[in-house]
């Protein structure tokens, strides 16, 4: 295995995580691969002086920042950063009003220019934010942004900052909001399908002290005033979000199509564990049902590692020795070099089996929480414990789930599972419920008939390439069709695995 090349890929992944954390707001792949092609990304001439000024500000204040309260942090650091981002004389600092224990207004109302800001003072007093381009809220240095917390450094205590910014966005009817503790800078949007849980975040200190200069674009481009200014009714952030959503639709369609082929591969792999006479209707049904379960286990792990519900970025031992991420890196090399794989060895099946066991039972040393509910429970899926899929089938199946072709870029890329929602994954599962495995009674070809893709005897279509030879396992619905678009119910226990990850004591 080319370990140096694999190491380089992992280093690139680590560097990317240094740039930003994208919690479902945008498409990770869009930000890395497509956005750099936009003219708004070509800002190298602006970036160098911006970084010099920002670094100078940080170096001059970093010794006092850990000791400042919220108001002092804003004055000494947040407001100067906003000025560097183009907001100088373009924001109103609001004296927060308090009703009960709730703060009703965000710290900053952001405007396109000073003239608009000056005209908006009267309107802002009446809670009219129609002239704003966005809002911002600031906390003391390095304050946790997802927890309610009592501290003398807060302006008001016992508030969850992420809840606050979501409430401010709703109350002001703004599309975009910035939340910062000085070090971490986040973007939230009411246009997101999950405004509270989805955000884009950069670690400013990491970008300044550890990352290459060019990585600072992930802060400058997204948080500069130019990102919120509207042109023809849309801001740059609006267009990035739209581009991300378009890619997500492409991705879901692509994964749905691939999932069919993946399940067929998994079924064939399990079927290899039986003789021809043992492949009764009952056995074929068990093979298919358990292939669906295995597919969803794999989809869950891809999703959970991408969303950091599993410790693929926080626990080096998990990432390097047990993760699906590591396995897909190895498989990339296998596919790239065209290695032939064994039709009898099942080492990769046992690898993922160990991973599934850690998820089911939890593993504190690896930082893996226990997931209850049944999806990974071996007692509920004895077929998956008794039988195994040979490497030749499983490696191809995992590769098809891990890599797709980006048509706009014209090359193969990693699937961006961070972009997909739990409902997207559910729809992939749903689309497969109408099929069943069959054994080809004779050679078959695939034909199009009145908009459907069907199977037909090869003898009736002598010019067609044979897709399945006699005795091959293939999938079809009751109409003999290969692929359709049915709508079915996704079992709730499957959705719950992704919607409701385990909570830590702090989160509770």
Average pLDDT, the chain: 86
**Mean pLDDT on 348-357:** 97
Give me the pLDDT at residue 281, please.
94
**pLDDT band at residue 502 under the 50/70/90 scheme:** very low
**Which of 184, 205, 229 represents a domain boundary (last residue)?**
229
In a domain, 8, yes or no: no
Better-scored residue on pLDDT, 403 or 409: 403
Backbone φ, ψ for residue 131 (5° rounding): -90, -5
The answer to whether residue 298 sits within a structural domain is: yes
pLDDT score of 64: 98
190 and 320 assigned to the same domain: no
CA 329/CA 335 separation, integer angstroms:
10
Question: Quick one: pLDDT band at residue 24, thresholds 50, 70, 90?
Answer: confident
Confidence label for 323 from pLDDT (cuts 50, 70 and 90): very high
Same domain, 30 and 152: yes
Range picked from 234-248, 397-411, 476-490 for highest mean pLDDT: 234-248
Q: Is 42 inside a domain boundary?
A: yes
Q: Out of 197, 229, 261, pick the residue that ends a domain.
A: 229
Tell the burial category of 344 from Cβ atoms under 10 Å away from its Cβ (0-12, 13-18, 19+): exposed
Tell me how far apart the alpha carbons of residues 383 and 286 are, in angstroms, rounded to a whole number.
8
Do both 356 and 282 map to the same domain? yes
Residues 6+ apart with CB under 8 A from 462: none
Handedness of CA 261, 265, 266, 268 (dihedral sign): positive
Same domain, 219 and 266: no
Of 1-10, 149-158, 208-217, 322-331, the poorest mean pLDDT is in 1-10
Q: pLDDT at position 507, please?
A: 35
Domain endpoint, select from 205, 229, 253: 229
- What average pLDDT does range 419-423 have in this prediction? 77
Residue 139's domain comprises 16-229
Residues 197 and 287 in one domain: no
**What's the number of CA atoms in the CB half-sphere (13 Å) around residue 477?**
15
Beta-strand pair 176-180/102-103: unpaired
* Count of beta carbons in the 10 Å neighbourhood of residue 471: 12
Are 289 and 204 found together in one domain? no
Q: Are residues 220 and 152 in the same domain?
A: yes
**Lowest-pLDDT choice from 202-216, 338-352, 493-507:** 493-507
Q: What is the pLDDT of residue 149?
A: 66
* pLDDT, mean of residues 338-346: 94
Task: Tell me if 146 is assigned to some domain.
Answer: yes
- C-alpha distances (whole Å) from 486 to each of 380, 401, 431, 501 are 27, 21, 6, 28
How buried is residue 331: exposed, middle or buried, by Cβ count under 10 Å (0-12/13-18/19+)? buried
**241: Cβ–Cβ under 8 A, 6 or more apart, which residues?**
25, 26, 189, 191, 192
Query: Are 21 and 164 in a shared domain?
Result: yes
Q: What values do phi and psi take at 68, rounded to 5? A: -90, 150
pLDDT of residue 483: 66
For residue 104, what pLDDT band results from cuts at 50, 70 and 90? low
pLDDT in tens, 431-466: 788 899 999 999 999 998 877 888 999 999 998 899
507: in domain = no
Tens of pLDDT, residues 263-285:
999 999 999 999 989 999 999 99
Q: Does some domain include residue 371? A: yes
Q: Is the pLDDT of residue 392 over 90?
A: yes
Query: Based on the domain organization, do 492 and 411 belong to the same domain?
Result: yes
Mean pLDDT of 74-93: 97
Taking 50 as the threshold, does the pLDDT of residue 10 lie above it?
no
Specify the number of domains making up the chain. Answer: 2
Output the pLDDT for position 77: 98
| Structural domain contains residue 462 | no
- Please check whether residues 277 and 324 belong to one and the same domain: yes
**pLDDT (0 to 100) of residue 150:** 61
Cα separation, 26 vs 418, whole angstroms = 9
**Mean pLDDT confidence for 280-293:** 96
Angle made by CA atoms 182, 186, 192, in degrees to the nearest 5: 165
Each residue's pLDDT tens digit, 143-181: 999 887 665 555 555 578 999 999 899 889 999 999 999
The values of phi and psi at residue 448, to 5°, are -100, 130
Return the residue matching tokens 């007093």: 125
Same domain? For 27 and 154 the reply is: yes
Task: Give CA–CA dist 326/317, Å, rounded.
Answer: 11
Q: For residue 64, what is the domain's CATH number?
A: 3.90.1570.30
Task: Please give the backbone phi and psi of residue 202, each rounded to the nearest 5 degrees, phi first.
Answer: -125, 150
Distance CA 73, CA 70 (A): 5
pLDDT higher at 50 or 4: 50
Mean pLDDT of 307-331: 93
How far is residue 368's CA from residue 359's CA, in Å, rounded to a whole number? Answer: 6
Q: What is the pLDDT of residues 460-484, one digit of tens each?
A: 999 889 999 999 999 998 888 886 5
Confidence (pLDDT) at 352: 98
Task: Establish if 205 belongs to a structural domain.
Answer: yes
Residues 219, 278: one domain?
Answer: no
């Amino acid at each position: 295995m080319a370990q140096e090349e694999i190491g380089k890929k992992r280093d690139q992944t680590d560097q990317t995580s240094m740039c930003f954390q994208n919690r479902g707001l945008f498409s990770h792949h869009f930000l890395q691969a497509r956005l750099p092609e936009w003219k708004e990304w070509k800002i190298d001439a602006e970036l160098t002086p911006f970084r010099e000024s920002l670094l100078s500000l940080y170096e001059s204040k970093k010794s006092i920042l850990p000791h400042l309260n919220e108001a002092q942090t804003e004055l000494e650091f947040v407001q100067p950063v906003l000025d560097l981002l183009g907001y100088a004389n373009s924001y109103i600092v609001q004296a927060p009003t308090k009703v009960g224990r709730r703060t009703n207004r965000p710290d900053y109302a952001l405007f396109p220019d000073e003239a608009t800001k000056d005209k908006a003072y009267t309107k802002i007093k009446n809670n009219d934010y129609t002239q704003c381009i966005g809002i911002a809220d600031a906390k003391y240095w390095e304050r946790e942004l997802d927890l309610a917390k009592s501290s003398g450094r807060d302006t008001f205590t016992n508030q969850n900052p992420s809840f606050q910014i979501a409430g401010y966005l709703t109350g002001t009817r703004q599309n975009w909001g910035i939340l910062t503790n000085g070090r971490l800078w986040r973007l939230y949007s009411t246009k997101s399908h999950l405004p509270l849980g989805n955000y884009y975040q950069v670690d400013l200190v990491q970008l300044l002290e550890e990352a290459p200069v060019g990585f600072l674009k992930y802060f400058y481009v997204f948080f500069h005033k130019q990102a919120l200014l509207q042109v023809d009714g849309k801001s740059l952030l609006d267009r990035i979000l739209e581009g991300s959503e378009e890619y997500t639709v492409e991705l879901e369609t692509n994964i749905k199509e691939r999932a069919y082929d993946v399940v067929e591969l998994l079924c064939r792999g399990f079927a290899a564990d039986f003789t021809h006479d043992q492949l009764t209707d009952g056995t074929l049904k068990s093979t298919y049902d358990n292939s669906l379960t295995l597919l969803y286990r794999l989809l869950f792990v891809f999703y959970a590692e991408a969303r950091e519900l599993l410790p693929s970025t926080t626990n080096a031992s998990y990432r390097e020795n047990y993760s699906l991420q590591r396995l897909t890196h190895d498989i990339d090399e296998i596919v790239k070099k065209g290695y032939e794989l064994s039709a009898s060895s099942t080492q990769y099946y046992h690898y993922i089996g160990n991973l599934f066991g850690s998820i089911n039972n939890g593993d504190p040393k690896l930082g893996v929480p226990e997931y209850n509910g049944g999806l990974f429970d071996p007692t509920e899926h004895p077929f998956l414990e008794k039988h195994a899929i040979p490497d030749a089938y499983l490696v191809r199946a995992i590769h098809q789930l891990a890599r797709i072709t980006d048509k706009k870029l014209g090359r193969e890329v990693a699937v961006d599972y961070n972009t997909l929602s739990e409902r997207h994954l559910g729809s992939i599962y749903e689309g497969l419920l109408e099929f069943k495995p069959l054994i080809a009674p004779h050679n078959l070809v695939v034909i199009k008939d009145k908009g459907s893709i069907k199977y037909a005897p090869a003898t009736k279509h002598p010019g067609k390439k044979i897709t399945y030879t006699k005795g091959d396992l293939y999938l079809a619905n009751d109409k003999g069709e290969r692929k359709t678009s049915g709508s079915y119910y996704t079992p709730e226990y499957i959705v719950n695995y992704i919607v409701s990850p385990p909570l830590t004591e702090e989160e509770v």
